[in-house]
Structure 1
Amino acid sequence: GLIFYDTKVTVMNRVLNATVQRTADHAAPEITLDPLEIVGGEIRSSENSYFCQAARQLGCVPSSQLCVKLASGGDPTYAFNIRFTGEEVHGTSGSFRHFLWQVCKELQSSSLSLLLLCPSSAVNKNKGKYILTPSPITYAEEQLFHFFGQLLGIAIRADVPLPLDLLPSFWKTLVGEPLDPDVDLQEADILTYNYVKKFENISDETELEALCAEIASQHLATESPDCPNKPCCKFTYLSLTGEEVELCPRGRHIPVGWENKDVYAAAIRSLRMRELQTPECMTAVRAGLGSIIPLQLLTTLTPLEMELRTCGLPYINLEFLKAHTMYQVGLMETDQHIEFFWSALEMFTQEELCKFIKFACNQERIPFTCPCKDGGPDTAHVPPYPMKIAPPDGAAGT
């Protein structure tokens, strides 16, 4: 955190350009996607998603072929080209950016099970934020997590911010930073956090009995074997995916009492921390990411900086956009219709601005930093900068 973010990005970019493995004289890998499989935005099965279609085809491509120089200028180099069945697409930039947008949409939907909506979103905390799904994974699922990691690296090299909304715990685990048992639990699962706090803050056995009675009324507890009419909890808890798990060996047969209530609370907290860390899944993600960019770079970034480098900001900075817009021959920033254009955008909500950017650039988020200097050559810009405004068709002489 002692080095400014822009400086870190500059160093990171130099390392990425120094670790290019596919040069300009090698043809880019090409994948073919069938848009009919997701007609109307409805994916009939996960196998038909763009994510799985791409994972199957790129699984046969050496990762070295995906390690390209950072995207820059008007004709950037991307990790692979995309051909859509039955469609004639000119150029590679638009289809590539649309692919990344569609894949992020799939990942944050019910069509794929790699990401899970965090429980806190159910009570309007961190609404729309996701975590890795914490469950044992098959070999096929491991390959999908590996491809997910590759996409993170591919997006970094392409400088296309991914519209992914992931909890800070994901980025902490990705860069190797330990989770905070209080903060990260509260962010991910506020209901479990409050539940654990109730047990930790109980001051006498009467309060414990009242709490167990309250839980029993919600069908989460059973009767104590010592006192049949006295409700009690057992050493079990629901996982993030909804299965009842034992917090210790024979946990279903161990009642929670005054002597072990703190052990019970700590066991629940420990369960959630393991689920948020998802070692199996994260190992596969890091392996995929490491096949595209050097993992040593992650040690220089904080979790927030890694998120910014990968996903950018979830809002549009109009002033930054203005500073990176050029006007083609015959146009000036002071022209009335140009002023009307910017005035109209200033009245847009952030949601409307994102839709405008998606229409104009085929991506929902745009980089909020650019290595160019004002007035510098186009090649110093990060695509889609500089934005260009051209005279309207048929406007000559009017």
Structure 2
Amino acid sequence: MMESMINAPTTASSPPPPPSPVSTNKRTTNSRQNRKRPFPSKESKFKDLNGKGGGGSSKPGPSGFSGERSNPKGSSSEDGLVVFAKASEIDWFNSQVMITRVLKDIVWHSPSDTACVEATKVLIASVLDKMKGSNVHNRLLVISGAPVNIDGMSVEGSLIRALRGCGGVHGNEMWISGNSAVVEIRSLAKVNEAYEILKQNKVWYPLEDYVLYPTVNVFRVTDSLKLASPSDPQGEQILVKFLKNKIADPEMPDKLNFNASETLSSIFMSCYSTSISFVVESTDEEEEGDSEIFLSEEQLALKIPGNLLELFLEAVKATEEENYLKEVLNRFGEKRKKKKTSEEEKESHDHDGIDKLELEQQRSLREQNQGKSHENPQVESVSGLTLQGFLEWCSELMKTQPNLLWKGIFATGYDIRFDRIWLFQEPSLIYSHFHSDKWAFEKDAALISYMDSFSQSLHIDPTRIQPAELYLTESDYLNPNFNCLQDTEIGYLRVRWAMLQKMNTLLSKKLLAHISVHAGNSTRRSLAKLLHDSRQLLLYYTKDTFLYKIIHTSAARGSETPTPEVMLDPVSSIGSQDDSVFKNQLSQVIQQMSTITSAFYCVPQAQGADPALPISVKFQGEEVLGLSGSFRHFLLNAAKELQSETVKLLCRCPSADAGKHKDSFIITPGKLSYGEEDFLHFLGQLIGISIRSDAPLALQLLKVTWRSLLLGEKEENDCSDDMIEADVLCATYLQKLESFSTKMAFDNFLSLNSWPKFQYPSMDNNSVVSLCSEGSNISVSFSNRDQFIKLIKQLREKELRSSNRVTKILTGLSTIVPLPALLSLFTSDHLSLRIVGSPEVNLSILKNPAHVMYQVGVSENDPHIMYFWAALESFTPEELKKFIKFSANLERVASNLPLPSLRTIW
């Protein structure tokens, strides 16, 4: 049923079809009786769908709808409608239909499918509503009581070092005044962690005697721009001083600075531009050509899209009284004579975009509050506000209540640096932008790639990163992976991220568990095919969580079953003159693992510092504490031997001769021998063991090789791009052949290259391959050069794909890990990250209790432990990699993302 949902015109009010009746006499009789019942009315249908009809209970089946029922005849209403789903199940169904239609619209571009278009617009409207306002104030931390004997530079350095594991201070900007400071954390998800870190005295004082000093006070900031602990007057003064400093002119503290004035002016003008078409009355001054813009009380109170001033006024209301706006107008506004307008002009005025009845109701309500009579609505003057009066009022707020002023600025969608963080546009306009030539699918892929890397740097679930926290720096735009985003306004990127984030959340919780993803490459127009085509829109965390669930549920070895043991002799090949492949450690492992059923390697996903591992590796003559150290050492040695000249399963990338990808390898092309089949099958099993143990396997494979493991998925890359990446010398040679326009110049080039034939060296340079029958006897000429170039490209494509060898690797991998989730959902970059791990080392992950075990009597607050972590914080990234290599036998670490919880997967 789920596979047909994608093309079914099912509406939100349609219940799921009942399951097929079992072929028994009793069920057949009931079915016949049901057919004789009168057809239910429309009212009874809605009654039952809302969960108010019927009396039987239902239990969800595997598809999310009702399966077993306590009443064998089903739950029926008075009109005879059989209800097979609960209200919650219909919500689940509607969520699946909605996310499916959005994916179809984004990935398959279905502008003619109005249901898909409307679903996307609904999603845009939903994320826009949640993006309103700003969470910048919740990311602020106020610090008081810092050491007075250190200068501001030392305080800044202490803050940068302490908050490095939390993503650092946003933009490395912080406000420091004496022994107090205010910092903005990069992400709201890391505020609590940063709060706990800064509360520790060891951040500020010498480690040997930090307990002797008074505690440094750290405060969070609430939505009302006050401290979460208001008992400290000093902290409140620091926050007020900081807010004033951000908005006041440095040379004239009683005046607003330039950025604040420009921002507040744009807020004021938004009211004028959006309300001018909705207000009929005008003043005499406007008729006389007064250039100063005047906003009446009616305009200020209009609740229409785009009126930022109304949001500002609502946020800065000091009291809940209705006359607050009137008091502001009395102090900073002015009154002007209102031009009398006939009733015919009022009725003929066009109120596009807002309901006339609603406008009249708002106007009548204000007249009642002002004590006016409906019988005589005309007045001689109207109260209003000019831009100058508005700025004077804001200046007064800055001096007396800066928290209220900032509260209003945040409510209109600006951050602490006066940058807009969300769009004030209709969903239809945003939809048109995303479906125009200004937006391409590669921008979605680049945005997902950026958020993947950003979430890994913070070590958090990417769905916790709020759209307002998306900032791209100049260095990000210069990155080749993200430079396609540099011509897009940041507001559109935030809206798009909110959409992709919502999609990933719904897919993870509502859809992935109910889709047979193995049909992604074969069945057209199916949900599996749709997910396969949208794999570049799926976050790595979404895929890894799904794979984690599959690995956990497919575990075949119980906790009572002993771990298969592999015994290795580490000194057998040292000093040996025999370079035979049968003398290395890989051969020892293959011989021992060939006698063990692969089900014994299928353990649940590894967790913790010393988890259950697929195999237990022991080295003769060596004693190792625990199993993880020897296992990681075995994986490290296995990766080195696989990339050595002895095994020859992998060969060095030909581009290495030109100085590109020097440390990258590809699968050695050519025909297969029986011994190579065993080694390739073992390589697949080794990759599966690495995935289940969550221990990186340091294979430095070229990107095109990872694509070949995904059964030849090109991911928008053509053969020319792959050839440039793998064999740049061959690509340059072919470009040179194509560049000649005359036969004479072409013949001169051939003479310099020894008059080549229709044959070309293989990628491993061990043989010369004939490009066609009798290719060694056919010379290249100006007339047949196109055929020569075409055949070389076909040869390189075939060698890079190495389908015969890839099949053997995947066969071995399938004995350890279910393949459909990997092959259908993962991209080449995500597959590489899952197997090889991340090259970046996040120190906060190393401190995590899941990766560190303190022996009895040792605490993280012991001086020598704190000195140890302080030393690691001073390491450069390269030094951290060397430390990991020394301490854990790892050249890379697993993905810098938190392990998913089985309770939160679905």
| Cα distance in 2, alignment partners of residues 311 and 326 from structure 1 | 21
User: Which of the residues 766, 779, 786 maps onto 1:262?
Assistant: 786
Deviation, structure 1 residue 364: 2.1
> Which shows bigger deviation, 207-216 or 96-105?
207-216
| Cα distance in 2, alignment partners of residues 372 and 365 from structure 1 | 17
The 8 Å contact of residues 641 and 647 in structure 2, kept in 1 or not, is answered as yes
Distance 1:125 1:43, change over 3 A: farther
The 8 Å contact of residues 327 and 333 in structure 1, kept in 2 or not, is answered as no
Q: Structure 1 residue 292 and structure 2 residue 812: aligned?
A: no
For 1:37-186, list aligned pairs within 5 A: 37-39=572-574, 44-176=579-711, 177-178=713-714, 180-186=718-724
Aligned to 2:267: none
Aligned to 1:224: none
| Cα distance in 2, alignment partners of residues 71 and 323 from structure 1 | 15
The 8 Å contact of residues 43 and 49 in structure 1, kept in 2 or not, is answered as no
CA RMSD of aligned residues (A): 2.6
Matched letter for residue 820 of structure 2:
Q
Secondary structure, aligned partner of 2:566: strand
User: Which of the residues 20, 23, 29 maps onto 2:558?
Assistant: 23
Distance 1:11 1:346, change over 3 A: same
| Cα distance in 1, alignment partners of residues 864 and 572 from structure 2 | 45
Deviation, structure 1 residue 135: 1.6
Aligned to 1:283: 807
Matched letter for residue 565 of structure 2:
E
| Cα distance in 1, alignment partners of residues 888 and 753 from structure 2 | 52
Aligned to 1:241: 764
Higher relative contact order (CA 8 A, sep 6+): 1
Deviations, residues 335-369 of structure 1 (Å, cap 9, x unaligned): 5873564345533452x433311222232221133
Q: Give the unaligned 5+ runs of structure 1.
A: 222-232, 381-398
Deviation, structure 1 residue 205: 0.9
| Cα distance in 1, alignment partners of residues 872 and 609 from structure 2 | 27
User: Percent identity, aligned pairs only?
Assistant: 35
Q: Structure 1 residue 364 and structure 2 residue 891: aligned?
A: yes
Deviations, residues 41-94 of structure 1 (Å, cap 9, x unaligned): 998432121111101110121111111111112431111112222223332111
Aligned to 2:745: 207
Distance 1:17 1:43, change over 3 A: farther
| Cα distance in 1, alignment partners of residues 565 and 744 from structure 2 | 68
Secondary structure, aligned partner of 2:630: helix
Deviations, residues 2-41 of structure 1 (Å, cap 9, x unaligned): 1211111011100111111111121121111111123379
Deviations, residues 137-172 of structure 1 (Å, cap 9, x unaligned): 111110100100111111000000111110011110
Deviation, structure 1 residue 180: 2.4
Secondary structure, aligned partner of 1:136: coil
The structure whose Rg is larger is 2
Matched letter for residue 180 of structure 1:
D
Aligned to 2:735: 197
Q: TM-score normalized by structure 1?
A: 0.84
| Cα distance in 2, alignment partners of residues 330 and 316 from structure 1 | 25
Distance 1:55 1:326, change over 3 A: closer
| Cα distance in 1, alignment partners of residues 747 and 666 from structure 2 | 34
Matched letter for residue 730 of structure 2:
T
Matched letter for residue 367 of structure 1:
A
User: Which of the residues 315, 327, 340 maps onto 2:840?
Assistant: 315
> Which shows bigger deviation, 38-47 or 189-198?
38-47
| Cα distance in 2, alignment partners of residues 307 and 347 from structure 1 | 26
Matched letter for residue 267 of structure 1:
L
Secondary structure, aligned partner of 2:574: helix
The 8 Å contact of residues 116 and 132 in structure 1, kept in 2 or not, is answered as yes
The 8 Å contact of residues 639 and 697 in structure 2, kept in 1 or not, is answered as yes
Q: How many residue pairs end up in the alignment?
A: 360
The 8 Å contact of residues 691 and 835 in structure 2, kept in 1 or not, is answered as yes
> Which shows bigger deviation, 322-331 or 31-40?
322-331
The 8 Å contact of residues 740 and 746 in structure 2, kept in 1 or not, is answered as yes
Deviations, residues 105-137 of structure 1 (Å, cap 9, x unaligned): 111222221110011011210111000111211
Q: Structure 1 residue 346 and structure 2 residue 874: aligned?
A: yes
Deviation, structure 1 residue 372: 4.6
Deviation, structure 1 residue 244: 1.3
Aligned to 1:389: none
The 8 Å contact of residues 333 and 339 in structure 1, kept in 2 or not, is answered as no
| Cα distance in 2, alignment partners of residues 322 and 206 from structure 1 | 69
Deviation, structure 1 residue 322: 4.6
The 8 Å contact of residues 609 and 853 in structure 2, kept in 1 or not, is answered as no
Secondary structure, aligned partner of 1:83: strand
| Cα distance in 1, alignment partners of residues 690 and 576 from structure 2 | 23
Distance 1:333 1:135, change over 3 A: farther
The 8 Å contact of residues 120 and 188 in structure 1, kept in 2 or not, is answered as yes
| Cα distance in 1, alignment partners of residues 757 and 889 from structure 2 | 52
Aligned to 1:32: 567
> Which shows bigger deviation, 256-265 or 147-156?
256-265
The 8 Å contact of residues 872 and 880 in structure 2, kept in 1 or not, is answered as no
Secondary structure, aligned partner of 1:116: strand
Q: Give the unaligned 5+ runs of structure 2.
A: 1-535
The 8 Å contact of residues 543 and 825 in structure 2, kept in 1 or not, is answered as yes
Q: TM-score normalized by structure 2?
A: 0.38
